[in-house]
């Protein structure tokens, strides 16, 4: 664990001058972002604007082309960054859940504690059961991921990430792959997490969730943060034309 | 239906009639061939060559030793093939280029050489080049290595395909939990990859069962003889082909269940 001298006010995420290019395609064009401990930040923007790429840069699943990132007390872009240690402190939830298909639900949640933290089996499984109960999954410990509904799988995925006791959680469109009637159960787990004070960076198209839970909304377009502020401002009264037309399209898809 | 006056007569058949006619011709040809063979073949002679019950009975119980050796050689070569093949597969997908080069070369060489030649190399070439070399387990060690080298190249290719068939999201999930590259391979990728390659590996086991018949070139004793050699010796001794039939049936006793198993596992894979 890194020292947290100035834990009170030091931001848990600090991104400076972040650029990301895939070949000739510059997807992120200079991102500066700070997230305070306990803050919930929702990231919105049109498809292809670079939301996932930005999120994946935070835990270095994508390597930035330029710029510096510190997250959860780790210098992610430094010359001797220990990414494996850093990622233990940064949970990630994917659009398609990505549960380990060869493992039971219980093992999905317990495996990282056992193999990375080297926690004993009994202890890891007890913690896994507690987390599964927290996300509302009970009596499915022995099931395979494929036997669960999408909403259940995503809640297991959240429990799996929480098992490493992260200081920061990244969500990449956690409800986009779900049937509409299953979206609520996942969002309510996330709402619970936010209420407990978890720092969260969430890519989402769920505007109602952003409005209710986010402390701040970022609107990303063309690889830059075009607009940001409290949800009441950004979502109801956007200052830029780009944000206005995006929101209009999201909120009124048919006209 | 084409009823224009200019169309030739056979064109006027419906597709269905045409299919029936074709099917009828095929049956007629098969029946004719079987009838000719039955008439021409000297059935008494065939029965005499292949179905001598007393000769078959005389092979037992000695044949079980060679039957057992066939199984042992197959399993030893397969185990060697796995122990070498899986690391080679991992090297094939490594981000470290020299590993990839080595593994690619290894696979190309041992997939390209005849199994018989490799067996000769291990059995005679190596001992000649390195006098005093001792294979662990004598002929058993020679077979494990001699057949296993070829097998390991095929196994490596199957396992590599399996590794590449594991969805990228599985790796990303593991890495995002703080697992190292190696840890991810061991805990997430390999278990899933091996499940994917169970059917091709079962087929490899069938191939090895048959390739174990090459072991005779190493010069085997009664105790270390495998099934083909045993059947051939009996053939010579009795001047009769019945031992070949018995030996063949014993091979099928091993390979058919394996083939069925492979197919079952393949279908189980579909369901997932
Ligand atoms: N691994 C990659 N290789 C090449 N190009 C990529 C890669 N990942 C993303 N891109 C490109 O980067 C751009 C931004 O992608 P990104 O996934 O970050 O967008 P997004 O805002 O998350 O979109 P969506 O809402 O559709 O998920 C796209 O043009 C995409 O094609
Ligand atoms: Mg995305």
| Total CB pairs under 8 A between chain A and B | 62
> A238 lies in a domain?
yes
CB-based contacts of A96: which residues, under 8 Å, 6+ apart?
A177, B169
Please say whether the beta carbons of A205 and A127 come within 8 A: no
CA of residue A58 to ligand 2 center, whole Å: 14
Band the pLDDT of A2: cuts 50, 70, 90: very low
Q: With CB atoms and an 8 Å threshold, state whether B175 touches A87.
A: yes
Torsion of CA A232, A236, A237, A242, to 10 degrees: 120
| Secondary structure in 3-state letters for A158-172 | HHHHHCCCCCEEEEE
CA of residue B263 to ligand 1 center, whole Å: 40
Of A90, A96, A112, the CB nearest to B179: A112
> A7 lies in a domain?
no
- A137 pLDDT above the threshold of 70: yes
Q: How far apart are the CA of A51 and the nearest CA of chain B, in angstroms?
A: 17
- Give the domain CATH number at A101: 3.40.50.300
Taking only the tens place, the pLDDT of each residue in A71-86 is 999 999 999 899 999 9
* CA angle (B131, B214, B116) in 5-degree steps: 65
Q: What is the pLDDT at residue B1? A: 47
Question: Longest Cα pair distance anywhere in chain B, in angstroms?
Answer: 88
Q: Which residues of B touch A61 (CB under 8 A)?
A: 172, 175-176
Q: How far apart are the CA of A109 and the nearest CA of chain B, in angstroms?
A: 10
Taking only the tens place, the pLDDT of each residue in A11-45 is 999 999 999 999 999 999 999 999 999 999 999 99
User: Given ligand 1 and candidates A51, A170, A172, A224, which is best to mutate, with the most ligand atoms within 8 Å of its CB?
Assistant: A51
Q: What is the pLDDT at residue B183? A: 95
Average pLDDT along chain B, 272 residues, taken 10 residues at a time = 52 85 94 91 86 86 92 96 96 94 97 94 89 86 94 96 96 97 94 90 93 89 87 88 91 92 71 39
Q: How far apart are the CA of A50 and the nearest CA of chain B, in angstroms?
A: 18
Name the residue range of residue A230's domain.
23-67+83-251
* Protein residue with least CA distance to atom 10, ligand 1: A22
Specify the pTM. Answer: 0.82
**Range name among A138-142, A202-206, B101-105, B130-134 with the lowest pLDDT average:** B130-134
Ligand closest to the CA atom of residue A25? 1
Residues lying with their CB under 5 A of ligand 2, a single-atom ion: A 52
Band the pLDDT of A5: cuts 50, 70, 90: very low
How many CB atoms neighbour CB A226 within 10 A?
20
Q: Which residues of B touch A115 (CB under 8 A)?
A: 179, 183, 187
> A135 lies in a domain?
yes
Of A59, A84, A100, the CB nearest to B188: A100
> A74 lies in a domain?
no
> A13 lies in a domain?
no
Q: With CB atoms and an 8 Å threshold, state whether B176 touches A115.
A: no
Q: What is the pLDDT at residue B268? A: 64
> A210 lies in a domain?
yes
> A9 lies in a domain?
no
Q: Which residue is closest to A88 within chain B, CA to CA?
A: B178
A116 in reach of chain B (CB within 8 A) = yes
The answer, yes or no, to whether any atom of ligand 1 lies below 6 A from the CB of A240, is: no
> A174 lies in a domain?
yes
Taking only the tens place, the pLDDT of each residue in A145-154 is 999 999 999 9
CA of residue B243 to ligand 1 center, whole Å: 67
Burial B224-249 (b: 16+ CB within 10 A, else e): bbbbbbbbbbbbeebebbbbbbbbee
Residue from A56, A87, A119, A145 to probe the interface with B (highest B Cβ count within 10 Å): A87
Structural domain count, chain A: 1
């Amino acid at each position: 664990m890194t020292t947290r001298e100035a834990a009170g006010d030091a931001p848990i995420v600090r991104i400076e001058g972040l650029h990301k290019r895939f070949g000739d395609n510059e997807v992120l064009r200079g991102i500066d972002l700070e997230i305070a401990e306990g803050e919930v930040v929702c990231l919105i923007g049109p498809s292809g604007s670079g939301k996932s790429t930005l999120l994946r840069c935070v835990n270095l699943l994508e390597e930035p082309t330029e710029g510096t990132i510190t997250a959860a007390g780790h210098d992610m872009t430094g010359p001797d960054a220990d990414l494996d240690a850093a990622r233990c402190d940064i949970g990630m939830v994917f659009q398609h859940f990505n549960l380990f298909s060869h493992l039971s639900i219980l093992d999905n949640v317990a495996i990282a504690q056992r193999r990375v933290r080297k926690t004993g089996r009994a202890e890891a499984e007890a913690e896994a059961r507690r987390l599964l109960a927290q996300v509302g999954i009970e009596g499915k410990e022995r099931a395979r991921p494929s036997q669960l509904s999408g909403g259940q799988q995503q809640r297991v995925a959240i429990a799996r990430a929480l098992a490493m006791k992260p200081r920061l959680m990244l969500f990449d469109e956690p409800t986009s792959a779900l049937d509409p009637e299953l979206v609520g159960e996942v969002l309510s787990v996330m709402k619970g997490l936010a209420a407990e004070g978890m720092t969260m960076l969430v890519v989402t198209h769920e505007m109602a969730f952003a409005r209710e839970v986010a402390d701040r909304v970022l609107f990303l377009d063309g690889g830059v943060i075009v607009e940001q502020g409290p949800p009441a401002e950004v979502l109801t009264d956007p200052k830029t034309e780009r944000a206005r037309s995006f929101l209009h399209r999201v909120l009124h898809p048919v006209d | 239906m084409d009823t224009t006056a200019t169309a030739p007569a056979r064109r006027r058949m419906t597709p269905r009639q045409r299919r029936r006619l074709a099917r009828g011709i095929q049956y007629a040809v098969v029946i004719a061939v079987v009838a000719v063979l039955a008439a021409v073949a000297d059935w008494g002679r065939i029965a005499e060559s292949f179905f001598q019950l007393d000769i078959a009975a005389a092979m037992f119980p000695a044949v079980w030793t060679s039957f057992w050796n066939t199984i042992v050689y197959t399993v030893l070569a397969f185990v060697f093939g796995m122990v070498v093949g899986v690391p080679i597969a991992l090297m094939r997908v490594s981000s470290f280029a020299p590993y990839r080069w080595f593994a690619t070369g290894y696979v190309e060489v041992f997939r390209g050489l005849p199994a018989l030649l490799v067996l000769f190399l291990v059995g005679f070439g190596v001992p000649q080049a390195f006098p005093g070399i001792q294979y662990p387990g004598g002929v058993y060690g020679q077979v494990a290595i001699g057949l296993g080298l070829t097998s390991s190249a095929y196994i490596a290719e199957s396992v590599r395909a399996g590794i590449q068939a594991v969805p990228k999201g599985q790796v990303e999930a593991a890495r995002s939990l703080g697992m190292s590259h190696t840890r991810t391979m061991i805990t997430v990728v390999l278990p899933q990859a091996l499940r994917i390659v169970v059917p091709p590996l079962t087929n490899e086991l069938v191939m090895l069962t048959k390739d174990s018949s090459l072991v005779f070139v190493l010069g085997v004793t009664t105790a270390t003889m495998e099934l083909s050699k045993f059947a051939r010796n009996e053939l010579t001794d009795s001047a009769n082909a019945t031992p070949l039939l018995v030996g063949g049936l014993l091979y099928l006793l091993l390979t058919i269940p394996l083939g069925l198993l492979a197919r079952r596992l393949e279908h189980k894979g579909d369901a997932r």
